[in-house]
Structure 1
Amino acid sequence: MKIVDAKVIVTCPGRNFVTLKITTDQGVYGIGDATLNGREKAVVSYLEDYLIPALIGRDPQQIEDIWQFFYRGAYWRRGPVGMTALAAIDVALWDIKAKLANMPLYQLLGGKSRERILTYTHANGKDLDSTLDAVRKAREKGYEAIRIQCGIPGIEKTYGVAKGDKSYEPADADLPSVEVWSTEKYLNFIPEVFAAVRKEFGNDIHLLHDVHHRLTPIEAARLGKDLEPYRLFWMEDAVAAENQESFKLIRQHTTTPLAVGEVFNSIHDCRELIQNQLIDYIRSTIVHAGGITHVRRIADFASLFNVRTGFHGATDLSPVCMGAALHFDYWVPNFGIQEHMAHSAQMDEVFPHAYQFERGYFTPGETPGHGVDIDEKLAAKYPYKRACLPVNRLEDGTLWHW
């Protein structure tokens, strides 16, 4: 069996998605997500100019050898562009292999380890009252785990909080927009938000929070300690993630569980965090961390140190990635939770899928492969539109972490 064709499909049904489709000489095809939010065309170029020409003619069943060829053979290893492109190839090949075996992907990985997949949604509001209302709506939909983000008094725009009734989409402009941030205002207000949520909804729901890399280690330690009475499921991305030593200081001061990893591309980005048990959940995604082949290694390594998975699942990952992630979630022994930021009806039309959601839980479906396809004719109706993530400045004008 040989790969005879591979092509990149770029579409924008409400936001940009990049999809790789690999076809074999037997007519079997697989697809993989190659979306890198705000840098989509960089991955397209890497695939079309460098990886696809070297992929044609190879045996699609040799997933491991192909992965090693593109990882080791590049010399310039790791990084978000290269690992996202490699992930697209890897997921498409796993899709093909599972289709050839006539079984859903989770069976090929080793079979299911649970009956359903716990997921968390976002409850975002411009102020405390609207945030509490968002939690009520999430509870009505059956969610047992909810990420809380709230507008901060005195700050015009806050991460995770949408304008008006629109769904939140951070990549909101052709070129990076500028937002203003105040750590002091944030730290003074956020504990009040969680106090109010617990007061109204009690202790029977899991609460999560995303700091989005904006604090120093000692500030993150303070926040974690302030949030301890409210028993968070996790505090996510508390500091800029490049310095793994930062988490040591946070860990010394708080028992609030810590999660990180959506910006990681390699096991080496999180190796010390995991082996030193400085985090509780690893959030590296299949699309940005080299595909199923590499994320399996991360998850297996994490299991040795009681670290569980918690895949990033915002809409900057296409339904193709969500489908692959849910099969992985169904199988992986050290599963923690799956993020769910629902795609629009328009996006779901472009990417028909077998996975199903019901009252706070997912199942991946029984369709051979990862169960997600792409309607190419429909995708062609939504041309690419450049959209960049914002940047942050402190109130005095200093550039800060977004």
Structure 2
Amino acid sequence: MTSASRAIDAAVISHEGISRKGLLERAFAFAFRGLVYAQIWEDPVVDMEALAITPDCHVVTIASGGCNVLSYLTANPRQISAVDLNTAHVALNKLKFTAVRHLPDYEHFRRFFGDADSPANIEAYRQHIRPHLDDTSRRYWEGRDLSLRPRVAMFGKGAYRRGLLGGFIGAAHLIARMYRVDLSTMLTARDMAHQRALFDEKLAPVFDRPFMRWLTSQPASLFGLGIPPAQYDALAGNETMATVLRKRLENLACGHDLKDNYFAWQAFGRGYGKAADAPLPPYLQQHHYETVMQRVDRASIHHANMTDWLAEQADASMDRYVLLDAQDWMTDAQLTALWTQITRTARPGARVLFRTAAEPSLLPGRLPDALLDRWDYRAEESAGYTVRDRSAIYGGVHLYTLR
């Protein structure tokens, strides 16, 4: 077992292997060693509003698929440190950073990471990206996946259909077709009223099917969403998982105009739209291309556990922290260790942003009072961010500021 695999196990596994939860945690940890998110599922526009990034800010974030790391550059931070335990996510971030620097123009960049399904991308990789990749990343992308093709080939055949999340969305489309429902129909909606009508008529009834209720009651069924067993329980709360997922999908389908919601395009179309006015993450929007290219050297990627990485940083050296939903996985001891390092490294005015599967913040009652009292919870603002988050799959978006 590699050191990265052991680190993932340590982050995910908290029960004995012979227990049901222990076996589920080990299965999730095994699945999480590969590519999980080809696209990150936290809204960077909401993030940047909450973080209030200024030109002197050092932002530290969990990297995931790298979309938000590059998108944060549009807010003009001094530095971004992206940290991730997942080898595939680290390789994906390095691929994106290198592509920004060395692909010849926006059209190549949009085709590679926007369309992500053209054989021309493989030639672009060989000609423009490969010569500049570090050895570890090059070995990853040219290594073979389960289909025995080089991993980089996914950008020639539909990158957003790959990874755990891509597989989960593909399975959802397959199950919908079993009930004669085409999920891509949602993308034909003329306006938000039509979105509501299509959801009520086509999608909502699927969640009442006995097979769907049984399937979603199995924690392993949500591994493709990157949801480990511990987070499954928090997501379900006192409701059935079918009910919870129906509400979250309803929010995705009806809560935001699909003309401006690229998360919905990923869910219902399995990729970004190809029209010139299709919604895209900030880093892929043409008017941000020059800015991202000029600032990409401000971003770095680190293959590490967030707590361990912070422990190596100087006191009062960070300004903004983005934890995604990683805390949903953590024990009380792990949360305390993480927030001890956040508090030590935080500069005056520091902000911490994270998401949870359930609605409330998970910190009260789990962090020592003396530690939590160093931070203010911005409850009203957090509720607004939750409503505006276009990914629509989280129960809560939470902002804390250093007192």
Q: Same fold (TM over 0.5)?
A: no
TM-score interval, normalised by the smaller of the two chains = under 0.3
Q: TM-score of the superposition, structure 1-length normalised?
A: 0.27
Higher normalized helix content (fraction of residues): 2
Q: TM-score of the superposition, structure 2-length normalised?
A: 0.27
Higher normalized strand content (fraction of residues): 1
